[in-house]
Chains A and B, each alone.
Chain A
């Protein structure tokens, strides 16, 4: 049971970087890939249907951390207090940009929220990179951590670039990428977290909640796993490049 829940935790964390990483990367690249308002609209519309289904993986990570590794949860989140706060504020700013950008007409309004998306995405990437290094390094923020921030930012930007070359081939980056390339860039995006996870596995396993608690979690959640996975697959089938519904105005 310990191993099963560690597997769930790993899938959720790596899944977060694979499935939300490109949204963050595209947010970072927004001013570059979309030099005009129309260009930015197109990039945001390409990622928009995936955001709600992607960011929720991190909420799930936090939930499992609390339920399965309660004693690690406090240690990790409190130990990284300033980074967690900057991650949250960045996340909030990015989401607000997405939800609000089309809610009023006017170029200044939309351009302003596009700025928020970009700023928030950079904040997310840098906070993550710094946090991953700090976790590996006994919770201390060092200059090395900032280098980690740069690595994660580069990985997510690459993933975002690949995603948009897959979703809108030839239209935004000039390049076309297939599903294989997207899978590869997802692995790149998830790699830093995978390295950390491999190193932290023994420590994390040592903090697992007792069997009674895990039984309750398994009993309540595992039956829902097919629906959870099914919803995710459905999102990708509906909004992938073959869904070709660019004529419908995007909500974000």
Chain B
């Protein structure tokens, strides 16, 4: 592999890892926020326990979203300085707005939410998770604005050696964005719903004593996954319009892109069939149909797989361009980048992040297995209360 392939590989590996965790963050955040809202306004303890249990899964997943995101944030400058050189005046704006206007708030308020149990007034604590949810979606929006600009550099003119932003509105109304964003939101909700569904089915299959808890969770998961799959499929097909207009032939000439698209659609159709036409109609009885639970469990990895295939289709299909029709990937690579540099960082990032990703999934699986009784998030003053109280005197 030459240095360009290595740099592309690094971006693909870290980007895919990042999205695996981000797609679940986006899917779970609104679910946790809704659970906590129900608890705050109705006061039913089962909703408090649901908030803490699914919230714990959400934050463990979030940890990997952050650390993989750090690499993404700095990677453009490391390997692709030609991009900021040619198009930084345009491409930098949505990324800067994302970090300051969305992620900065998300991280601050997530800290308040995680450590604020039993310290913040209930209403304000609830506000924190809603701010976290809204800013997570704002992040997704700005990242998709930046990505869509690469697919179709709307709102800009070429000034010889650099691109200039002339119409910010056109950047936001990019047709490559308007259909892709709801598609990604649908994918995220489908993923979040599937995880809640799959984990609940596992607990019910094991004849958990927490029947009420997982019955409610399973039903909520099915509903959210249904909304997600409808959005994902509808806006999936809707994307063919703008893609055909701005990147005709993107799936025909590049086998990898075509393959990704084909398998994504296969998985999408399968999930649509199962979720909408089997699980949703029988949602009332599903929690008690033990024979159906293994099917629900087996479905859990599919949305993750489809999401990675989707990005493969979108990004492999863009080659050889980094900015469609304007800047090639080869020209965007940092001049002077060597195979040695990229190989070292590729191995370091892949080894560290890969290992952490495995640990993270094992930890999530363990939370699912141990059930709501063993959750640390939001735990109140515990058995070691007296010792700690003595210390704080």
B104 at the interface (CB under 8 A from A): yes
**A91-B70, A92-B70 given; 12 more Cβ-contact pairs under 8 Å:** A59-B103, A74-B80, A74-B85, A78-B81, A88-B71, A95-B67, A103-B363, A104-B363, A213-B89, A221-B97, A221-B100, A247-B385
Instruction: From A49, A56, A67, give the contact of B96 (CB < 8 A).
Output: A67
Contacts of B73 in A (CB 8 A): 59, 62-63
Report whether B101 and A221 are in contact in the complex, using a CB–CB cutoff of 8 Å.
yes
A77 at the interface (CB under 8 A from B): yes
B277 at the interface (CB under 8 A from A): no
B263 at the interface (CB under 8 A from A): no
Report whether A247 and B381 are in contact in the complex, using a CB–CB cutoff of 8 Å.
yes
A-B contact pairs, 13 of them (CB 8 A): A55-B107, A56-B103, A62-B74, A63-B73, A63-B103, A70-B89, A77-B77, A96-B63, A216-B165, A221-B101, A228-B100, A232-B108, A251-B114
Q: Which residue of A lies closest to B80 (CB)?
A: A74
Report whether A99 and B63 are in contact in the complex, using a CB–CB cutoff of 8 Å.
yes
In the complex, chain B residues 267-319 whose Cβ is within 8 Å of any chain A Cβ:
none
Question: Number of A interface residues, CB 8 Å?
Answer: 70
Report whether A56 and B107 are in contact in the complex, using a CB–CB cutoff of 8 Å.
yes
Contacts of B89 in A (CB 8 A): 70, 209-210, 212-213
Report whether B376 and A88 are in contact in the complex, using a CB–CB cutoff of 8 Å.
no
Chain A: residues with CB nearer than 8 A to chain B?
Answer: 42, 48-53, 55-57, 59-60, 62-68, 70-71, 73-78, 81-82, 84-85, 88-89, 91-93, 95-96, 99-100, 102-104, 171, 209-210, 212-213, 216-217, 220-221, 224, 227-228, 231-232, 234-235, 238-239, 243-251
Report whether A89 and B76 are in contact in the complex, using a CB–CB cutoff of 8 Å.
no
Contacts of B388 in A (CB 8 A): 246-247
| Interface size range of chain B in the complex | 35 or more
Contacts of A96 in B (CB 8 A): 63, 67, 356, 359
Q: Which residue of A lies closest to B387 (CB)?
A: A38
| Closest A-B pairs by Cβ, 7 of them | A70-B88, A67-B96, A74-B81, A63-B99, A77-B77, A52-B111, A99-B63
In the complex, chain B residues 58-96 whose Cβ is within 8 Å of any chain A Cβ:
59-60, 63, 66-67, 69-71, 73-74, 76-85, 88-93, 95-96
Contacts of B88 in A (CB 8 A): 66, 70-71, 73-74, 209
B42 at the interface (CB under 8 A from A): no
Report whether B115 and A71 are in contact in the complex, using a CB–CB cutoff of 8 Å.
no
Instruction: From B105, B353, B366, give the contact of A231 (CB < 8 A).
Output: B105
Contacts of B114 in A (CB 8 A): 49, 52, 251
Contacts of B81 in A (CB 8 A): 73-75, 77-78
Known contacts A85-B78, A213-B90: does B391 contact A228 (CB below 8 Å)?
Answer: no
Report whether A88 and B115 are in contact in the complex, using a CB–CB cutoff of 8 Å.
no
Report whether B77 and A74 are in contact in the complex, using a CB–CB cutoff of 8 Å.
yes
Contacts of B353 in A (CB 8 A): 92
Report whether A62 and B99 are in contact in the complex, using a CB–CB cutoff of 8 Å.
yes
Contacts of B363 in A (CB 8 A): 100, 103-104
Rounded to whole Å, the gap between the CB of A148 and the closest CB of chain B is 20
Q: Which residue of B lies closest to A93 (CB)?
A: B352
Contacts of B93 in A (CB 8 A): 67, 213, 216-217
Rounded to whole Å, the gap between the CB of A189 and the closest CB of chain B is 20
Contacts of B349 in A (CB 8 A): 85, 88-89
A247 to B117, CA, bound (A): 12
In the complex, chain B residues 312-365 whose Cβ is within 8 Å of any chain A Cβ:
334, 336-337, 341, 344-345, 348-349, 352-353, 356, 359, 363
In the complex, chain B residues 113-149 whose Cβ is within 8 Å of any chain A Cβ:
114-120
A85 to B385, CA, bound (A): 42
Contacts of B119 in A (CB 8 A): 238-239, 243, 245, 248
Q: Which residue of A lies closest to B81 (CB)?
A: A74
Instruction: From B77, B97, B105, give the contact of A76 (CB < 8 A).
Output: B77
Q: Which residue of B lies closest to A171 (CB)?
A: B391
Contacts of A78 in B (CB 8 A): 77-79, 81, 334, 336-337
A56 to B99, CA, bound (A): 9
Residue in B77, B85, B91, B166 whose Cβ sees the most chain A Cβ within 10 Å? B77
B168 at the interface (CB under 8 A from A): yes
B6 at the interface (CB under 8 A from A): no
Rounded to whole Å, the gap between the CB of A132 and the closest CB of chain B is 16
A78 to B79, CA, bound (A): 7
Rounded to whole Å, the gap between the CB of B332 and the closest CB of chain A is 10
Instruction: From B84, B105, B359, give the contact of A227 (CB < 8 A).
Output: B105
Known contacts A71-B84, A84-B78: does B95 contact A247 (CB below 8 Å)?
Answer: no
Instruction: From A50, A67, A224, give the contact of B95 (CB < 8 A).
Output: A67
Q: Which residue of A lies closest to B359 (CB)?
A: A100
A49 to B104, CA, bound (A): 15
Rounded to whole Å, the gap between the CB of A176 and the closest CB of chain B is 14
A106 to B379, CA, bound (A): 19
Report whether B166 and A212 are in contact in the complex, using a CB–CB cutoff of 8 Å.
yes
Rounded to whole Å, the gap between the CB of B185 and the closest CB of chain A is 21
Rounded to whole Å, the gap between the CB of A140 and the closest CB of chain B is 14
Report whether A102 and B376 are in contact in the complex, using a CB–CB cutoff of 8 Å.
yes
Contacts of A49 in B (CB 8 A): 111, 114-115
